[in-house]
Amino acid sequence: MRRYLPLALILVLPFSSALAQDKKIEKKVDSVLKLMTLDEKIGQLNQYTGDRDATGPITNNPNKLKDIRDGKLGSMLNVRGAKETREVQEVAMQSRMKIPLIFGLDVIHGYRVTFPIPLAEAASWDLEAMENGARVAARETAASGVHWTFAPMVDIARDPRWGRVMEGAGEDTYLGSKIAFARVKGFQGKGLGNLDAIMACAKHFAAYGAAIAGRDYNAVDMSEHTLWETYLPPFKAAVDAGAATFMNSFNTLNGIPATGSSYLQRDILKGQWKYTGFVVSDWGSIGEMIAHGYAKDKAEAAELAIKAGSDMDMESRSYLPGLAKLVADKKVSVSLIDDAVRRILRKKFELGLFDDPYRFSNEARQEKELNAPENRKAALSMAEKSIVLLKNENQILPLSKSLKKIAVIGPLGKSEKDMQGFWSIAWENDKLVSLYEGLKNKVGDKTELLYAKGCEISDSSKTGFAEAVQVAKQADVIVMAVGETLDMSGEAKSRANIHIPGVQEDLIKAIQATGKPVVVLVMAGRPLIFNWTADHVPAIMYTWWLGSEAGNAMANVLFGDYNPGGKLPMTFPRDEGQIPLYYNYLSTGRPAKNDKDTRYRSAYLDMPNSPKFAFGYGLSYTTFDYSGLTLSKTQITANDKISVSFTLKNTGKYAGEEVVQLYLQDKFASVVRPVKELKDFQKVMLKAGESKTINFTIDKEKLSFYNQQLKWVAEAGDFKLMIGTASNDIKLEKDFTLVN
């Protein structure tokens, strides 16, 4: 006779078996902890780099190897490859306790196959694709003996001068939280312990993206309200997705270094959010509390950091040797250290490293996984999705496949290296496709490809212009490749001037003056300023840094084999003077009605308030029509929901994807609200001529915000619902009311 489990039991089973698993691991952790000396415990909290220092690979460094053998190390970063990780792990197995090391690495946008930079991927608004991108990176990373990536960076960033905007998901909290969740899921797959899952690390906790004046490592000063409402939610999303680790940050937050902040790490993360993973410091950030003027020496820095909840010391050499003396002097309790060690050992058990410390260091698997064709396919697809079409006057794009001659002009036209972006790790081994090569792959011998560099990226010389103009004159269409080199956006790559560097815009002017059709591709790690180009050149695509398959992706989009659907995840200013500029700013008492309305208004006398390109903006080769907005109710209580629907029609000639964006404005509230906030979106594919009914639901969660007491509440009152194709291009709107 078949037996069926009661439904209640079925629902409870996975949860209770997870609990049982947790309990089992806790027992194992306790059993190991019991056997450890204080020095060995402190060793677990210590992390060294493997190869990015003067001594070369770790395997050449007798001092580090001795420390591993002596049980003074819990983890290493920058050790990678099945062979090298195995060799180093073998040394850890010679230590008294034989506790395996965790190997961590900055796998930010791909391991061997390079994916578009995270900001570019965010422009796809395609959560599934981003999760898959992280999955591919995890598979390659895990097969190379590495257990842990220092990603995703989930810092909200409203200042494009900050070079690290390239590493995050842009300026919006809602979009950023969804992406944070997707990326953590992608890295961790079906869960730690699987051979294709690596630990994610949500960073930089917290508010690092708000460095004053966009200068990296700079102080952050913000209201509690902004912290909770804008900067913390993506971190919470990472916790909800099960992120195994967190990294704290270099910055001070309201006068306290994040690394030494118990408010952030103990009260919020480990307290309120009940986080059971561990926190690693940022590189040297514990020691940097001395330079901050917060700790007088490394011993005090160690004391402040461990008490604040920083579990692992990345490369500041403060915990070792500092903590042992702090314990002897009774300044730090052993229970505090035990808690940190427990968190780290837990992950080592979850990864299965106690069962087999070499389980990830498998050369055969590495060989099979790295650069696998399906990984490159995923990178190509992600690159296509990441491109944002900014302008396409007179449908100059897509290009016809029967063109006789195309000229590729500009300093990035043949560049392979720069396509990688700042955080790529596989430099030597990755096969990168330049724009020129991508076009060649596409047109074969049917079309002649001409080329001229014109200038270097940061040149002040225009000597190459004449040749470039000569080449341009021979072509039917000119595709220009301008922007930044890969080291112009990234860590420590802040720039006060974010105009397209050097004389590149002058080169565009010179080529445009030939009267030939010009398409400009901007390749960069941040929003750049290029007003003349935006106003005069008929077609512009923002391609960011697209990774291994960059050139093929650009060629597919240029020729219409892929219809672009990306939307900007960050506002593009007209001028640095407008920064910080973001779409969801707070209402003011004297709002300007339009860009010319300056008299005693919140406005500039010399420049419009509006951006050059707004958050959420991006074109397609087709067009979409929005109509028929209906709300199931226009008055609800907090327990009710509103069903929102409207019709989206593809009115153009091509099949294409549209990101429909739902914004809300809470018109009157106990805390002044933004003029609009993204609260939902969908990416919809429609064939030419096709229509679809799009549905959204408005519930209490979407209407809630942090009140003055920092409580998450939905207040009764009037709301405006806006459906748009961009934050500044709202197609449909209706009001509704929340009543008590």
Nearer to ligand NOJ, 217 or 358 (CB): 217
Q: C-beta of 222: minimal distance to ligand NOJ in Å?
A: 19
Is position 282 annotated as part of the catalytic site? yes
Q: C-beta of 249: minimal distance to ligand NOJ in Å?
A: 8
User: Which residues, 491 to 510, sit near ligand NOJ by CB under 6 A?
Assistant: 491
Instruction: Tell how strand 405-409 and strand 477-483 pair up.
Output: parallel
Q: How far apart are CA 740 and CA 717, in angstroms?
A: 9
Q: How far apart are CA 211 and CA 251, in angstroms?
A: 7
Q: C-beta of 494: minimal distance to ligand NOJ in Å?
A: 13
Q: Is the Cβ–Cβ distance between 547 and 421 less than 8 Å?
A: yes
Q: C-beta of 491: minimal distance to ligand NOJ in Å?
A: 5
Helices (H), 387-540: 435-443, 465-474, 504-512, 531-536
Instruction: Tell how strand 712-713 and strand 705-706 pair up.
Output: antiparallel
Nearer to ligand NOJ, 105 or 197 (CB): 105
Q: Is the Cβ–Cβ distance between 281 and 310 less than 8 Å?
A: yes
Q: C-beta of 546: minimal distance to ligand NOJ in Å?
A: 22
Nearer to ligand NOJ, 80 or 203 (CB): 203
Of 106, 172, 282, 666, the catalytic one is 282
Nearer to ligand NOJ, 259 or 563 (CB): 259
Q: What single-letter DSSP state applies at residue 323? A: H
Q: C-beta of 283: minimal distance to ligand NOJ in Å?
A: 4
Q: C-beta of 681: minimal distance to ligand NOJ in Å?
A: 28
Nearer to ligand NOJ, 282 or 549 (CB): 282
Question: How many residues in the shown chain lie near ligand NOJ by CB under 6 A?
Answer: 7
**Across the beta sheet with 691-698, what order do the strands follow?**
624-631, 642-650, 691-698
Q: Is the Cβ–Cβ distance between 33 and 340 less than 8 Å?
A: no
Phi and psi at 240, nearest 5°, equal -60, -30
Q: C-beta of 202: minimal distance to ligand NOJ in Å?
A: 11
Nearer to ligand NOJ, 149 or 620 (CB): 149
User: Which residues, 85 to 114, sit near ligand NOJ by CB under 6 A?
Assistant: 106
Nearer to ligand NOJ, 78 or 124 (CB): 78
User: Which residues, 52 to 81, sit near ligand NOJ by CB under 6 A?
Assistant: 77
Residue (of 587, 674, 554, 25) closest to 342 by Cα position: 25
| Cis upstream peptide for 372 (omega within 30°) | no
Residue (of 660, 569, 691, 724) closest to 168 by Cα position: 569
Nearer to ligand NOJ, 172 or 282 (CB): 282
Helices (H), 487-625: 504-512, 531-536, 550-558
Q: How far apart are CA 27 and CA 29, in angstroms?
A: 5
Q: C-beta of 169: minimal distance to ligand NOJ in Å?
A: 15
User: 168-207 mask for ligand NOJ (x: CB under 6 A)?
Assistant: -----------------------------------x----
Per-residue buried b or exposed e for 200-217, using 16+ beta carbons within 10 Å of the residue's own CB? bbbbbbbbbbbbeebbbb
Task: Say whether residue 155 binds ligand NOJ (CB under 6 A).
Answer: no
Task: Say whether residue 282 binds ligand NOJ (CB under 6 A).
Answer: yes
Task: Give the helix/strand (H/E) hosting 42.
Answer: helix 38-44
Q: How far apart are CA 240 and CA 713, in angstroms?
A: 20
Q: How far apart are CA 423 and CA 428, in angstroms?
A: 14
- Residues belonging to the chain: 740
Q: How far apart are CA 614 and CA 623, in angstroms?
A: 18
The SS3 call for residue 131 is helix
Nearer to ligand NOJ, 265 or 514 (CB): 265
Q: C-beta of 686: minimal distance to ligand NOJ in Å?
A: 39
Q: C-beta of 279: minimal distance to ligand NOJ in Å?
A: 13
Q: C-beta of 278: minimal distance to ligand NOJ in Å?
A: 15
Structure tokens at 682: 């969908």
Cα–chain center distance at 639: 34
Nearer to ligand NOJ, 140 or 282 (CB): 282
Contacting residue, 115, 283, 530, 663, with ligand NOJ by CB under 6 A: 283
Q: Is the Cβ–Cβ distance between 93 and 69 less than 8 Å?
A: no
Give whole-number Cα distances, 625 to 51, 394, 562, 616, 653, in Å: 55, 19, 21, 17, 13
Closest chain position to ligand NOJ (CB):
150
Q: How far apart are CA 417 and CA 384, in angstroms?
A: 19
Q: How far apart are CA 536 and CA 509, in angstroms?
A: 9
Nearer to ligand NOJ, 312 or 388 (CB): 312
User: Which residues, 601 to 640, sit near ligand NOJ by CB under 6 A?
Assistant: none
Task: Say whether residue 530 binds ligand NOJ (CB under 6 A).
Answer: no
Nearer to ligand NOJ, 282 or 311 (CB): 282
Long-range contacts of 32-40 (CB under 8 A, 24+ apart): 32/97, 32/99, 32/345, 32/354, 33/338, 33/341, 33/342, 33/345, 35/97, 36/97, 36/341, 38/324, 38/327, 38/334, 38/337, 39/71, 39/72, 39/324, 40/71, 40/96, 40/97, 40/99
User: 23-42 mask for ligand NOJ (x: CB under 6 A)?
Assistant: --------------------
Catalytic annotation, residues? 282
Interface with ligand NOJ (CB under 6 A): 77, 106, 150, 203, 282-283, 491
